[in-house]
């Protein structure tokens, strides 16, 4: 259970976050905050699976489906995002089940699982590019501006509204993270990530447990994609889908720390601030530089700090907190080569 102090800290922090846009209205900074919140939600969604050793590089695909299906339904059928977003989430969920079921049923794990999911995000990108008559291909796609009810179209001009929406969704993600953290599913999934056969022998339904967390993760990621699209009002296959977006999720979650609830959020803050700093620093020459720095940092982090910044900091602060679980111990050992 959470201690009194932690509840108070969360309460004060949340109150401050909600109050922020009413006292501070600088549009550029609010824009960065909205982006951080939306991507934090996406990274948290990825880490729901990633923390149990289910490393998926297919999440770029789920995010792309969330963004494009919502926008396409709005533009072509005039379907409000309030209906379009659940449909897009269902589509991403269905795809997750179609790919996930054979993977889990037939014990496709480790390298195999990563490569299959990697191909999935590559294929979603190909489909979006191939259906260029509808999606605009690699040139990108813009949802039509509404002339009617803004709430119905989920299009708002002011940053404060978007900030509050993004904050709500982000908080929802953190709550789900904690809900899973305290559920029986967590113990089952941890057992599976240590030894699938032993877990199955102990009565864990391996396929069902993995499918549940994959479905949850895919649904949340699609929601993140749809929100990103509604906020930015412009999407391209490269910014919401594909291998690069999947790797970006992995990178942020690892930099922040996979095994703590605020790790992915921390990762989003670091990566987005880094990208913005590089963009301002390099100006128009920035194309590519941010990803170059990302890539180098990702390699360095995996070699030297696989538990992430926040995870390592928490460990340092509370050295005798608890005995690390076996898969974390492995990561700790990897962090100190030579021991």
Partner 1 sequence: MGMQGFLDIFDIYLLEAVINGILLGGVLALLALGLNLIFGVIDVTWICYAELVMIGMYAMYFIVQVYGLSYFVAAPFTILLVAVLGAALHYLVIAPLLTAPPINQLLATGGVLFVLQSFATVAFGIDFRNLGIRLPVLAFGDMNFSYARLLSFLAALVGMVAVYLFMTRTFTGTAIRAISQDRQIMALMGVDTRRIYLITSALGGALAGLAACLLVLQYDVHPFVGLSFGPITFLICVLGGLGNFIGGFIAAFVFAEIISLGGLFSDLEWGYVLAFAFFIVMMFIRPAGLLARRR
Residues contributing to the site for partner 1 (CB under 8 A): 53, 55, 57, 98-99, 102-103, 105-108, 110-112, 114-116, 118-120, 122-123, 125-127, 129-130, 242-244, 247, 250-251, 254, 287-292, 294-299, 302-303, 306, 327, 330-331, 333-334, 337
Least distance to partner 1 from the beta carbon of 274, Å?
Answer: 13
Nearer to partner 1 by Cβ, of 45 and 230: the residue is 45
- How far is 304 from 252, CA to CA, in rounded Å? 15
Least distance to partner 1 from the beta carbon of 150, Å?
Answer: 36
Nearer to partner 1 by Cβ, of 153 and 298: the residue is 298
Going by C-beta distance under 8 Å and a sequence separation of 6 or more, which residues neighbour residue 235?
67, 68, 71, 140, 141, 142, 228, 229
Least distance to partner 1 from the beta carbon of 268, Å?
Answer: 17
- How far is 197 from 208, CA to CA, in rounded Å? 14
Nearer to partner 1 by Cβ, of 49 and 165: the residue is 49
- What would the DSSP string read from start to end of 228-246? HHHHHS-B-HHHHSHHHHH
- How far is 255 from 40, CA to CA, in rounded Å? 12
**45 within 8 A of 246, measured Cβ to Cβ:** no
Least distance to partner 1 from the beta carbon of 226, Å?
Answer: 23
Nearer to partner 1 by Cβ, of 143 and 242: the residue is 242
Nearer to partner 1 by Cβ, of 166 and 252: the residue is 252
- How far is 48 from 180, CA to CA, in rounded Å? 8
Least distance to partner 1 from the beta carbon of 122, Å?
Answer: 3
- How far is 57 from 66, CA to CA, in rounded Å? 16
Nearer to partner 1 by Cβ, of 125 and 164: the residue is 125
**78 within 8 A of 144, measured Cβ to Cβ:** no
Least distance to partner 1 from the beta carbon of 94, Å?
Answer: 13
């Amino acid at each position: 259970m959470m201690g009194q102090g932690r509840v108070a800290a969360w309460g004060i922090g949340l109150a401050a976050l909600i109050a922020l846009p009413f006292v501070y209205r600088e549009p550029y900074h609010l824009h960065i905050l909205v982006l951080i919140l939306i991507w934090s939600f996406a990274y948290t969604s990825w880490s729901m699976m990633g923390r149990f050793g289910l490393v998926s590089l297919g999440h770029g695909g789920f995010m792309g489906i969330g963004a494009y299906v919502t926008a396409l339904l709005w533009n072509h059928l005039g379907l409000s995002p309030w209906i379009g977003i659940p449909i897009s989430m269902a589509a991403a969920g269905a795809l997750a089940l179609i790919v996930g079921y054979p993977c889990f049923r037939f014990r496709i794990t480790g390298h195999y699982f990563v490569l299959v999911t990697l191909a999935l995000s590559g294929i979603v990108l190909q489909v979006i590019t191939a259906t260029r008559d509808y999606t605009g291909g690699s040139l990108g796609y813009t949802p039509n501006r509404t002339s009617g009810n803004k709430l119905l179209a989920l299009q708002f001009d002011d940053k404060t509204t978007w900030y509050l929406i993004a904050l709500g969704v982000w908080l929802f993600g953190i709550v789900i993270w904690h809900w899973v953290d305290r559920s029986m599913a967590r113990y089952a999934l941890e057992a599976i990530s240590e030894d699938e056969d032993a877990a199955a022998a102990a009565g864990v339904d391996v396929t069902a447990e993995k499918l549940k967390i994959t479905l949850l993760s895919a649904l949340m990621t699609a929601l993140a994609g749809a929100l990103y699209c509604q906020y930015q009002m412009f999407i391209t296959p490269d910014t919401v889908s594909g291998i690069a977006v999947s790797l970006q999720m992995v990178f942020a979650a690892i930099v922040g720390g996979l095994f703590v609830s605020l790790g992915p959020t921390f990762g989003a803050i670091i990566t987005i601030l880094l990208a913005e700093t590089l963009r301002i620093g390099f100006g128009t020459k920035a194309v590519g530089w941010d990803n170059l720095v990302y890539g180098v940092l990702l390699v360095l982090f995996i070699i030297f700090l696989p538990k992430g910044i926040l995870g390592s900091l928490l460990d340092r602060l509370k050295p005798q907190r608890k005995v690390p679980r076996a898969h974390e111990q492995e990561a700790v050992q990897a962090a100190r080569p030579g021991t």
